Amino acid sequence: GQQQTLQAPIIVQEIHSIIAALPTGKLPGLDGLSNQYYKTYSRTLGPHLQNSFQAMLPAGAALSEMLMAHIATLPKPGKLPNRAQNLRPISLLNTDILADIMLTIVYDDQ
């Protein structure tokens, strides 16, 4: 059932497909790796990401660094940045290819 599905091997082609669908033009997260980086080096990174993800899934582990965000503030249009209510927070997240793979695994099992 579900346990077998979650233990099914991750296929490199799944990783390549997810990377190909990543939007570009976004700022990178704390790891400094943009979606464009993943797209540019997809063929090289695919097998390494596969090995990493495959090692994490059975233990239910995810590196805490993968779950971290950098929160920055930007002034709202036409507002001075001298008051908190004039600022808009944004979160810069690391590209989460593993989350997209998990969605694919769970969706395919439904």
Render pLDDT for 26-79 as a digit per residue (tens, 0 to 9). Answer: 888 878 889 999 999 999 999 999 988 888 766 666 666 666 777 889 899 999
Tell me if 50 is assigned to some domain. Answer: yes
Tell me if 49 is assigned to some domain. Answer: yes
For the stretch 101-110, what's the b/e string if a residue is b when 16 or more beta carbons lie within 10 angstroms of its beta carbon? bbeebeeeee
Residue 25 is part of which domain span?
Answer: 2-65+94-109
Q: At residue 25, does pLDDT exceed 90?
A: no
Q: At residue 110, does pLDDT exceed 80?
A: no
Tell me if 102 is assigned to some domain. Answer: yes
β-pairing, 69-75 with 87-93? Answer: antiparallel
Tell me if 72 is assigned to some domain. Answer: no
Length of the chain, in residues: 110
Cα torsion 65, 33, 17, 24 to 10°: value is 130
Confidence bin at 20 (pLDDT 50/70/90): very high
Tell me if 70 is assigned to some domain. Answer: no
Q: At residue 105, does pLDDT exceed 60?
A: no
Degrees (nearest 5) of the Cα angle 36, 49, 46?
Answer: 65
In the chain, the number of structural domains is: 1
Q: At residue 109, does pLDDT exceed 50?
A: no
The pLDDT of residue 59 is 64
CA neighbor of 38 nearest in space, from 57, 15, 70, 55? 15
Write down the mean pLDDT value for the chain.
80
Tell me if 76 is assigned to some domain. Answer: no
The pLDDT of residue 30 is 78
Q: At residue 3, does pLDDT exceed 70?
A: no
CA separation, residue 12 to residues 43, 52, 88, 96 (Å):
9, 12, 38, 15
Tell me if 14 is assigned to some domain. Answer: yes
Tell me if 71 is assigned to some domain. Answer: no
